[in-house]
Amino acid sequence: MRYAIFADVHSNLEAINAVENAIKGERIDECLCLGDIVGYGANPGECIEKIKRLASIIVAGNHDWAAAGKFDISYFNIYAKKAILWTQQNITKEEKNFLSHLPLIYETQLFTLTHGTLIHPEDFGYVLNNVMAGKNMQIQKTPFCFIGHSHMPEIYKTGENLVLREKSREIVVKEGNKYLINVGSVGQPRDGDPRAAYCIFDTSEGTISIKRVEYNISKTCDKILAAGLPQTLAYRLFEGR
C-alpha cells in the first residue's frame, strides 16, 4: 500500500490543490488526513468538501473542533481566535456537524493517526522534541504513528533505548523500531520552507518520505486579505513561518 498522509490544510485551497495534483503521480492507494482542515485561511468550506472527497480517513484537529464549537478557543492566540470566529460565520451547519464528529484517533494494526499527541489527545498537545516524542511512543501501540499540529515535519524513531530524530526526510524503516512521523503542514508550514508538505508511506517498500510542492501563495494571500482576516496570516505564508 502507498498512503499519502497530510495535515493542517487550514483553509488553504491553493495548497491542497497542489498536493492533490502532486500525489496523482505517486500511485497512491489511499489518502489520510490528520486534521485542521480549517482555520487561518479563507476557503474553509471548499477545503472541507475537497478533503471529504480526497481522504478515506480524517481525524480531528483543534481548529476543526473549535470551528464546530466543540473546543475552547481561549488559549488560541489573537490571530487564530479571529480566524476561528470568522470560520464559524463562513461554514454551513452541515460542515460544522461534519467537523464536530471527526474522531481524535484512528488506529490499525500497523499505524495510528492523531493530530497532536496520544497523551490526552483531546487537549491537542505538541510534539516538539525527543522527550515529547518518547512520551508519545510509550503510549503508541502500533509501529507507526502519524501526527501534525506543530506544522514542523519530523521523523522520530526508537533505537538502543533512545528516541532519535532522523536527519533525512526520506527513510527506510527497520523492523522492530517504533516511528513517530510529523507530516508537516499543507496550508501553513512553519519550518522556513513555504512549500506545502505531505508524507508518502509505502508499506511494500518500507519507506517514509516527506515531500514538498509549490503552490500559488500570492493567490492565497490575496484571499485572506480580501476576507478581512489578520494580515499576518497572509504574509507569513511567504516565509513559511
pTM for this model (two decimals)? 0.96
Nearest-CA neighbor of 187 among 223, 133, 135, 155?
223
Cα-based distances in Å from 115 to 7, 75, 125, 146, 176: 8, 17, 9, 8, 24
CA dist 127 and 118 (Å) reads 10
Which stretch of DSSP H or E encloses residue 130? Answer: helix 130-139
Q: What share of the chain is helix, strand, coil (3-state, %, to 5)?
A: 35, 20, 45
**pLDDT tens per residue, range 140-158:** 999 999 999 999 999 999 8
CA dist 38 and 32 (Å) reads 16
List domains and CATH numbers for the chain.
2-238 (3.60.21.10)
The pLDDT tens digits along the chain (241 residues) read 999 999 999 999 999 999 999 999 889 999 999 999 999 999 999 999 999 999 999 999 999 999 999 999 998 999 999 999 999 999 999 999 999 999 999 999 999 999 999 999 999 999 999 999 999 999 999 999 999 999 999 999 987 667 887 878 888 998 889 999 999 999 999 999 999 999 999 999 999 999 999 999 999 999 999 999 999 999 999 999 9
